[in-house]
Structure 1
Amino acid sequence: MAHFPVNHPARPIYRVLSALIGLYILVFGVYGTFMTWNDGLFARGAHWVLGLRTNLAFALVSVVFGAFLLIGATRRTNLGHYMNLTAGVVFLLTSILMMAVLQTPANFLNFSMSTVIVSMLFGLILLGTGLYDKVGTPEHAEEERRRRNHSISEVGTR
């Protein structure tokens, strides 16, 4: 069974990190929507926004994902934990799939290699933040801390 640390001391830093990623993606999506509004939904033009190539479909999806990440980062419950884990996996899978079709007509989101790299980085960061931002009761966190310290002291006495 997977173990997620509960009430990790660096949880606020991870939430800020996911919020910054969400803000970047939201700004990218809004600016990309304005830049590509007159093009087709899946056009493969040469529109670059904030260092990434985009089309209208990718910009609209980015607006949704950016808002999704910002909502998750502002929640003090486990909703943000699950949203970051889900978004991390989605970003990683999307970047791998789009890299596979990068130079083909199937590149419907108009990805470039820089977009693939940024998506992979965001996916890894969001997956990492999702692993460490789980919220639990103070009793649960204390029990975990005690168990962790107990196992360390056992190793030292052997």
Structure 2
Amino acid sequence: MAHIPINHPLRPLYRALSGLVGLYILIFGIIGFIRTSGMDFFANHGDWVLGLLTNPAFSVLSIIAGLIVLAGALIGRNLFVALNLVGGFIFLIAGIVMLLLLRTDANFLSFSMVNCVVSFIFGMLFLAAGLYGKVGPTEDEEAEAAFRTRQPTTRHATNH
């Protein structure tokens, strides 16, 4: 990675947004699992929950994803960065794959077009949170800022 901002001033905002999305995904998964408990696990038809279509399999995946994203937002530090970068790519890839399977019998997560769009939005938010959430010491922050602006770093030599 050439340069990712360290200690970005909007880091708390991205962490809060990621946590809220993780909470939404968790609540969606719980309600979805309760409402679809009588269906086949990979049913092609689902039930609408909080604006998205779901089946039991997608509800369980949502519960797991929501817990992981929420835990990352609560723990913070650079674990938050790693989880959001990986989660962002997973949500984008899931959106693309489910878009390809949308009107087929292979739509095993019962996705709709709305689900695909929301998956893309969440994926982009997680990627942004991951890219701007990195934390580190002040020296690393100054070196990254100097690299970004192409200015030499100023190091204070200490004589002992």
- The aligned counterpart of 1:140 is 140
Give every structure 1 segment of 4 or more consecutive aligned residues whose post-TM-superposition deviation is greater than 2 Å: 142-151
- Give the letter for the 1:119 counterpart: S
- The aligned counterpart of 1:52 is 52
In structure 2, list runs of 5 or more residues that go unmatched.
152-160
Aligned length: 151
Identity of aligned residues (%): 48
- Contact in 1 for aligned 2:15/2:76 (Cα 8 Å): no
Give, in whole Å, the separation in 2 of the partners of 1:95 and 1:88: 11
- Contact in 1 for aligned 2:88/2:122 (Cα 8 Å): yes
- The aligned counterpart of 2:124 is 124
1:68 counterpart SS class? helix
The alignment status of 1:39 with 2:11, answered yes or no, reads: no
In structure 1, list runs of 5 or more residues that go unmatched.
152-158
- The aligned counterpart of 2:79 is 79
Displacement of 1:137 in angstroms is: 1.3
Root-mean-square deviation (Å): 1.4
- Give the letter for the 2:132 counterpart: Y
Give the helix-richer structure, 1 or 2: 1
Q: Any idea what the Cα deviations from partners look like across 1:75-131, whole Å, max 9, x if unmatched?
A: 232100000000000000000000001000110000000000000110011111111
Give, in whole Å, the separation in 2 of the partners of 1:8 and 1:84: 16
Give, in whole Å, the separation in 2 of the partners of 1:76 and 1:125: 16
- Contact in 2 for aligned 1:76/1:135 (Cα 8 Å): no
- The aligned counterpart of 1:100 is 100
Give, in whole Å, the separation in 2 of the partners of 1:68 and 1:139: 31
